[in-house]
Amino acid sequence: MPATTGGASSPVVNIGDIQNKGWDISATYHAIANRDFHLNIGVNVTTYHNVVVKVPDPGYFDIGIVRNQTGHPVSAFFGYDVIGFFKDDEDVAKSPVQQEAAPGRFKYKDVNGDGEITPDDRTFFGDPNPKFTYGINLNATYKQFDFTMFLYGSQGNDVFNTLTYQTGVWDSYMAAKSNDLLFNSWRPDNLNPKLPIAQNASTFSTEGDVSFYKENGSFLKCRSVILGYTFNQGFLNKLSIKKFRVYFQVENLFTITKYSGLDPELSSGFSTLDPAQQSAAFGIDYANYPHNFRNYVLGLNLTF
């Protein structure tokens, strides 16, 4: 922008092209075992392949840990690939030259093989787009009882866990820290730790834009389970009631996942990004508020 515009900022412009291809499949099974027992099972699966088709020169744009580049998925994670920790001074000396390398710090992959770790060694290391998502609906009735369960899952997506960096690396965020930093960070007698060495130093070899914080974000959630009972109509007629049903519901009964954060199903969460940037940089856990807390509901449906 020319200086004559004063404090104005450049407008956000939609200048990129992306492509999504995939399948959306659903099927329902109905079964009547007898007059008293009915069963319905519904399954839906959605799969897609996501790719950036066109971005103006130079063919990509970066938003923090994310690079949107032609030929790659939207919001792909981009940075240094951590291949381990430096074991000792001898390991540092034998490895490609890396700024501020030291025992216990991250060892980065020399992607271009030139014997030195530079910005040219940054690479794509994660994709927040799932290979497929799916849902399962179960519905059954037996005499006057009814049962409903809804399951939802996502498979094959990565999550970048910034909380591990903030709570697990000493120099990153001077606040509450994890137990892993205290008890399972790198030490000479602990060469297979969960976290790098605990030290009050901010260095290139302990930074946050690295593959170390990528996790498997796949999950299966039981969003809802409902058990209900409808009272006998003959009994209700005496009370001038057309229908009377009581039910007990549990929301978010369980979540099956390998993700170490609070909830693998991320919303936009806390972020300094504006809405336009968030749409191009997702799959990052910025201390997102969890949506898998369990709720218990006792209710009734009454019709006169």
Sign of CA dihedral 179, 183, 186, 190: negative
Q: Report yes or no: 208 and 169 within 8 Å, Cβ to Cβ.
A: yes
Alpha-carbon distance values, 26 to 29, 41, 194 (Å) = 10, 11, 41
Residue 137 and residue 40 in contact, taking contact as beta carbons nearer than 8 Å:
yes
Output the average pLDDT for the chain.
90
More confident residue, 249 or 239: 249
The strand pairing partners of 61, in sequence order, are 68
Q: pTM of this prediction?
A: 0.86
Q: What pLDDT is stored for residue 167 in this prediction?
A: 87
pLDDT at position 119 is 94
91 φ/ψ angles, rounded to the nearest 5 degrees? -65, -40
pLDDT digits (tens, 9 = 90+) for 160-219: 998 888 888 877 667 788 888 889 999 999 999 999 998 888 889 988 889 999 999 999
Spatial separation of the C-alpha atoms in residues 163 and 90, rounded to whole Å: 32
